[in-house]
Chains A and B, each alone.
Chain A
Amino acid sequence: MENLTYKISNGVLRLDISGDYKNKNLPEVFLAQIKSPEIKRIEIDAKDLNSWDSSLLVMLLDIYHKATALNIKFDGKNFPNGVQKLIELSLAVKPQQEPPLPAKQSFLDCFGDFGLHIFHTFMKGAKFALSNLRTFFWAPVFKPVSRTVDFWFAFQECGPKALPIVLLISFMVGLILAFVGAIQLQIFGAQVYVASLVTIGMTRIIGAIMVGIIMAGRTGASFAATIGTMQVNEEIDALKTMGVKTEEFLIFPRLKALVISMPILTMFADFAGILGGAAVGILALDIPSSEYFRYAYKAWHLRHFLVGIFHALVFGFIIALSGCYFGVNCGRDADSVGTSTTKSVVYGIVWMIIATGLITFCLQRMHI
């Protein structure tokens, strides 16, 4: 406070500002005095002011606002030109009025809004999925406007480049499946059925699910991030105004790439999983390798295999659509790209599980 001296006499508050007024916090104690009812007038003198910065302006503005609110006369003397000008400048533009916040809603309203929101979101997603599926399945007839390079680039990303991680994870899953199964089967001395367990499990469902989860995290997320960033950079607006449909230009190549690569990756995953099971069976459970593969071959049914591939196809659609949907519906800032990416993975996996449930139920009914 060494820069501020003030005294109150006859209803006049006299404030002297002196020296270097820089980097000062608001003098709260002094500012609180202004509210006292005896003050009718404020006089500020800055004749001994040496140098100053924004903190002086902030203090003066605060006094000004308090004084005008209380109808107190406010008078400044000997201020440097700049101070005067900047205060005028900052008061020149009337503050923009913020629109009033919507009134608080009752619980029932909120509940209803929530329900409606879910319904609308679902319908929006369904519409998106249908329009893209239409583009996809009519592609042989109505050639979509898209670039072949985009397809090859996406295919590289979700095919060959994803293969190592798919092989590794599936091998490990086969291994784990065999170990867990062996503990139970050993009770009956039937370890050799580990081969059947792993083969049926991997080909019918686990291979496809593992590939689905890996691809949702790897490729679905990257679709969402890429398209989301394009949204932030107004590239999608540019496409739309050129009359190019995003469904065709951005989504179709990605959808095609993933739908083609998912079944292929799943075949590799099935194979790697069976090898993982074999590693446990042959090395840890001492099943002769010829025996293991004989049982594995016996358990291998085209039916199971095709069910697995069908799952993979469906998962391919789900992951690609989820990634692209959240990319296209991304907000316009850096944060929303992050949120979109997360959502694409979460919803991709959730819908994959829902689809698995539905498919399993239907196949059960059809005795497949």
Chain B
Amino acid sequence: MENVIQAKNLTIGYGPKVLLRNADFAVKEGDIFIIMGGSGCGKSSLLKVLTGLIPPLQGSFDLLGVDFNRASSEQKSLLRQKTGILYQSGALFSSMTLAENIAMPLEQYSAYSPSTIDELVRLKLSLVGLSGYENYYPSEISGGMKKRAGLARALALDPKVVYFDEPSAGLDPVSSARLDDLMLEINANLGTTLVVVTHELQSIFNIGNNSIYLDAATKTITGSGSPKDLLKNPPNERIAQFLTRGKEK
């Protein structure tokens, strides 16, 4: 299987401030890939690099087999259509209804007819459990619903990869578990690769089949592999603490 993301010697940071040095990791097709680490270690920044919002300080990464930073702007646009992002608060456009939010990428990038777009919007909303909310504005729904609507928008173009920045932040345990289930369904049934930044231990063990741990102190990746294996054989003390919430055995 081809690697969806292949990071090669990636160094990220802002100007002189380095957050992560010489990172090498690979996300395989169909993975649910977890990026773990303490607050402020650069997880969101890593996502920003992978989604092309900021350039890496050094090194490069391949997205779907294309070196992203060398790609032409047309190639980048194509790659972006194959990726979806769920931001922390959903990042829905507040002046559009949910249906319009989800139709927007479809209208921009696909050749679907308007009636097909309508049906696709209905489908995506029903997949995230929001059917009937087509004409609601983001300000009229709750935080968990905004996240699910954001996910529906991220899934609009049937992306190959979807990035999540702390999907369970601000959700109650039940909504958060439901979002986890939804992510598993999407991964299993659409074959979408998911890259997830999260602290939520329960999610990490429930959904993750591969992961990396970013260490703020050494500014490197100090552990990688399936979260369950990392728990069984932690490569260092800090990962053991992270995965047991600081409780020793």
| Docked complex Cα distance between A92 and B185 (Å) | 13
What 9 A-B pairs come out closest when comparing CB atoms?
Answer: A333-B94, A96-B132, A82-B189, A95-B132, A90-B126, A335-B95, A332-B139, A95-B131, A58-B119
Q: Which of B58-66, B109-117, B234-242 lies at the interface with chain A?
A: B109-117
Q: Mostly helix, strand, loop or mixed at chain A's interface?
A: helix
With A55-B120, A81-B189, A86-B185 in contact, do A96 and B133 touch (Cβ < 8 Å)?
A: yes
**Contact of A85 with B95 in the complex, beta carbons under 8 Å:** no
Interface residues on A, range: 20 to 34
| Docked complex Cα distance between A99 and B132 (Å) | 11
Contact with B along A73-95 (1 / 0, CB 8 A): 00000000111011001111111
A86 nearest CB neighbor, chain B only: B189
Q: Which of B112, B129, B155 contacts A93 (CB 8 A)?
A: B129
B201 on interface, CB distance cutoff 8 Å: no
Q: Which of A21-29, A159-167, A188-196 lies at the interface with chain B?
A: A21-29
With A55-B120, A86-B185 in contact, do A334 and B113 touch (Cβ < 8 Å)?
A: no
With A23-B111, A25-B112, A333-B138 in contact, do A54 and B129 touch (Cβ < 8 Å)?
A: no
**B99-137, CB < 8 A from A:** 110-113, 115-116, 119-120, 122-124, 126-127, 129-133, 135, 137
| Docked complex Cα distance between A332 and B93 (Å) | 12
Closest chain-A Cβ to B108's Cβ sits at a distance in Å of 14
| Docked complex Cα distance between A332 and B129 (Å) | 24
Most chain-A CB neighbours within 10 Å: which of B93, B110, B112, B130? B112
**Contact of A333 with B95 in the complex, beta carbons under 8 Å:** yes
Residues of B within 8 A of A334 (CB): 93-95
A98 on interface, CB distance cutoff 8 Å: yes
**B171-205, CB < 8 A from A:** 185, 188-191
With A61-B119, A93-B126, A333-B137 in contact, do A82 and B188 touch (Cβ < 8 Å)?
A: yes
A62 nearest CB neighbor, chain B only: B119
- Return 25 A-B CB contacts under 8 Å, by A number: A23-B111, A25-B115, A26-B115, A26-B119, A54-B123, A54-B155, A55-B112, A58-B123, A61-B122, A61-B123, A83-B189, A86-B127, A86-B185, A86-B189, A89-B127, A89-B189, A90-B123, A93-B131, A94-B131, A95-B126, A97-B132, A98-B132, A332-B94, A333-B94, A334-B94
**Contact of A25 with B95 in the complex, beta carbons under 8 Å:** no
**Contact of B94 with A91 in the complex, beta carbons under 8 Å:** no
**Contact of B110 with A58 in the complex, beta carbons under 8 Å:** no
